[in-house]
């Protein structure tokens, strides 16, 4: 739904109004709502995972692919949470902090991967990615709350009505992005040839 893509705009608006508490509520609500949607979709898809993986992989890779599913699921949940905070840093014009955290996350991922891959193989890579996501979540939340909002990062209040405007904006953003990508990649829609 692109909720994390639209968070920068709404954080910027609320910060311009000087409402730190509302920004916190917005971020927490987006994270909780996104996690609920992922859990519901996962519950729908989970019964079909074995069948789907068997269509994609031969027996020797099926077991590995199935073993990776929990790691993928956990990483998805963590990615939604930390990308919401990184998007909030963008909305607060703290891209310097976001860039530093992103680079630090990559360094952590590489170091932990080098340590775990020799022992655990591809599962070690997945474990390193989860470790990276946890570090990014904790640090991005801490820095956003302490450096931008000036309130406790342990504030977890939610209020679902704040999603109304954000969902509409995010869905429109996603739809325009999909159509823009489709039009650019499909030259039959362009009024001129690709050579001109």
- State how far the Cα of 39 lies from the Cα of 45, in Å rounded to an integer: 10
The predicted model scores a pTM of 0.78
Task: Return the CA Rg of the chain.
Answer: 20
| pLDDT at position 103 over 80 | yes
pLDDT at 100: 96
| pLDDT at position 137 over 60 | yes
Asked whether the beta carbons of 28 and 84 are under 8 A apart, the reply is no
Distances, alpha carbon 9 to alpha carbons 120, 175, 195, in Å: 41, 17, 37
Q: What is the mean pLDDT of residues 34-56?
A: 86
Q: What is the mean pLDDT of residues 57-83?
A: 87
């Amino acid at each position: 739904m692109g909720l994390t893509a639209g968070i920068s705009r709404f954080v910027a608006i609320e910060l311009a109004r000087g409402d730190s508490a509302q920004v916190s509520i917005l971020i927490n609500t987006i994270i909780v709502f996104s996690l609920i949607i992922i859990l519901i979709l996962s519950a729908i898809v989970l019964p079909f995972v074995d069948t789907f993986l068997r269509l994609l992989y031969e027996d020797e890779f099926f077991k590995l692919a199935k073993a990776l599913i929990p790691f993928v699921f956990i990483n998805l949940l963590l990615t939604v949470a930390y990308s919401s905070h990184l998007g909030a840093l963008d909305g607060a014009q703290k891209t310097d902090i976001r860039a530093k955290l992103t680079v630090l996350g990559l360094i952590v991922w590489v170091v932990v991967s080098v340590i775990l891959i020799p022992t655990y193989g591809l599962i070690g890579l997945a474990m390193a990615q989860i470790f990276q996501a946890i570090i990014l979540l904790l640090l991005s939340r801490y820095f956003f709350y302490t450096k931008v909002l000036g309130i406790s990062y342990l504030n977890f209040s939610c209020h679902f009505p704040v999603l109304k405007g954000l969902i509409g904006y995010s869905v429109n953003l996603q739809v325009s992005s999909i159509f823009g990508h489709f039009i650019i990649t499909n030259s039959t829609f362009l009024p001129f040839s690709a050579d001109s």
